[in-house]
Amino acid sequence: MSARPLAPAAILRDAGLSALVAFGLFVALIGLRLVPTDNGLALEQRWRALLAIVGAVFVGRLLMLGWRAWRPAGAPTPRVLAESIRRSARWVAPLFLLLALALPLFAGRYVIDVGILVLTYVMLGWGLNIVVGLAGLLDLGYVAFYAVGAYSYALFSTTFHFGFWTTLPVAGLLAGLWGVLLGFPVLRLRGDYLAIVTLAFGEIIRVVLINWTSFTGGPNGVSDIPRPTLFGLKFNGSGDPDTFAAFFGVDYSITQRFVFLYYVILGLALLTNWVSLRLRRLPLGRAWEALREDEIACRALGINVTVTKLTAFAIGATFGGFAGAFFATRQGFVSPESFTFIESALVLAIVVLGGLGSQLGVALAALVMIGGTELFRDFAEYRMLVFGIALVVMMVLRPRGLVSGRVPSVSLGKPKEIAADLVAQGRG
């Protein structure tokens, strides 16, 4: 923090002012409460609760400023912390990968299920990272491609009885096609305008899914979607010879299916990661990043900006489609309700919180956001409040995300990391 340490009197005054603001805010919100009684409503006064809140603000502010003023010389500053996060990235990523691979060996069914959910969002985050993080195109309608993928698998499998593995590429392809379709009209748009059009696109897909009843089943969705198979082996307890349990001569347990699904999504997520890491070091990925940095300079260098943008949309959408197909097979049921704007916002929040363009950051953010909300399920209605506060604090402390900074895609000597403040965030 660059703020200058304050004198004790100034700190006291600042804390007092903060407490005053808190009092003004909360006097009616917390201090007064309407309670229903036999003869209408009565006003309950809760001065003690108000006092507690105001006091907490006062003491909190006092401690914060005091720490800043009398911090021991060797205490880590945010800058040093950032540096150590960056250095530890080298071993954190393989550690997480090992942990992810080994998780089903020691975890129970619930944890594996949460793991599947987290990995789905990791994959979505990595897919959106191509569009937002690399190409710098702000996409608020990413859930549309997730929906296209999910409905592709749902409809192909229930209508034509296609298997999961045959439909997966088709779902990706269709989502990629929709990515290009969205890309065309928004080629000339930038920043806020691009964001609004992509948001509308996401809503259009959802509204079509609701209203095209004859094709999509409308609000009822599509149910009885077949589960994925392992080389034709099903996961159920029927005892048929083509089930996993009968083939390997083991007792059937529902956990087997969860473990299988877990490894499927882990594989899909790692595929997304591998392709994006690889593309980053290739001309196409470099052109995306150059586009984020300066579109006009790209054009002056003979780069076809149209094609470059469309490939970013298409490839990002393809991975969204894969994730969607997986979602459909995991749930066994899809309906438009699963593809609301909040999903797009959540995936975008994961990408921004993790650090635009950072693969590790996105994975960590997905773990914290999705795993965290599961962990705090006991807190019920306070869960989202805690979560919102955590997000705000995070963005204030590390405005460029958990893992900011950029590693060069090519270097003559030893690659040096580029500080985040030099890297453009993209204006669409």
Partner 1 sequence: MTAPLLSVEHLTMRFGGLTAVSALSFAARANQITAVIGPNGAGKTTVFNCITGFYRPTSGTIQLHHPEGSSYALQSLAGHLIARRAKVARTFQNIRLFAGMTVLENLMVAQHNTLMPNVVSGLLAVFGLGGYRHTQKLAIEKATTWLEAVGLIGRADDPAGSLPYGQQRRLEIARAMCTDPALLCLDEPAAGLNPRESDELSELLIRIRGGGCSILLIEHDMGVVMRISDHVVVLDHGKKISDGTPAEVRADPKVIAAYLGEGDEDETPADAEEAA
Q: Which residues bind partner 1 (CB under 8 A)?
A: 275, 278-279, 282-284, 286-287, 289-290, 293-294, 296-305, 307, 311, 406, 408-416, 418-419, 422-424
- Measured from the CB of residue 88, what is the shortest distance to partner 1 in angstroms? 22
Is 118:276 a contact under the CB 8 Å cutoff?
no
Cβ at position 335, least distance to partner 1 in Å? 34
Residue 306 and residue 96: Cα distance in Å, rounded?
37
**CA 324 to CA 142: how far, in whole Å?**
11
H or E segment to which residue 40 belongs: strand 40-45
Shortest approach of partner 1 to residue 141 CB, angstroms? 23
Smaller CB distance to partner 1: residue 292 or 330? Answer: 292
Q: Which is nearer to partner 1, 282 or 393 (CB)?
A: 282
Looking at the Cβ atoms of 166 and 304, the one nearer to partner 1 is 304
Nearest approach in angstroms of CB 314 to partner 1 is 9
> Per-residue b/e over 109-148, b at no fewer than 16 CB within 10 Å?
eebbbbbbbbbbbbbbbbbbbbbbbbbbbbbbbbbbbbbb
Quick one: 311 or 344, whose CB is closer to partner 1?
311
* Half-sphere exposure of residue 238: CA atoms within 13 angstroms, side-chain side: 8
Do 148 and 171 form a contact (C-beta atoms < 8 A)? yes
Which residues, 6 or more positions from 146, have their beta carbon under 8 angstroms from its beta carbon?
A: 124, 175, 320, 321, 323, 324, 327, 339, 343
Alpha-carbon distances of 128 from 30, 332, 358, 362, rounded to whole Å = 40, 24, 12, 10
Calpha distance 251→249 (Å, rounded): 7
Q: Which of 390, 356, 358 is nearest to 375 (CA)?
A: 390
We find the least distance from the C-beta atom of residue 315 to partner 1, in angstroms, to be 8
Shortest distance, position 418 Cβ to partner 1, whole Å: 4
Of residues 75 and 296, the one with the C-beta less far from partner 1: 296
Sequence letter at residue 331: Q
Tell me how far CA of residue 340 lies from CA of 257, 346, 402, in angstroms: 28, 10, 26
Q: Do 296 and 121 meet the contact criterion of CB atoms below 8 Å apart?
A: no
Nearer to partner 1, 228 or 361 (CB): 361
Nearer to partner 1, 3 or 300 (CB): 300
Minimal distance, residue 142 CB to partner 1, in Å: 21
Of 232 and 302, nearer to partner 1 (C-beta) is 302
Q: How far is the CB of 294 from partner 1 (least distance, A)?
A: 5
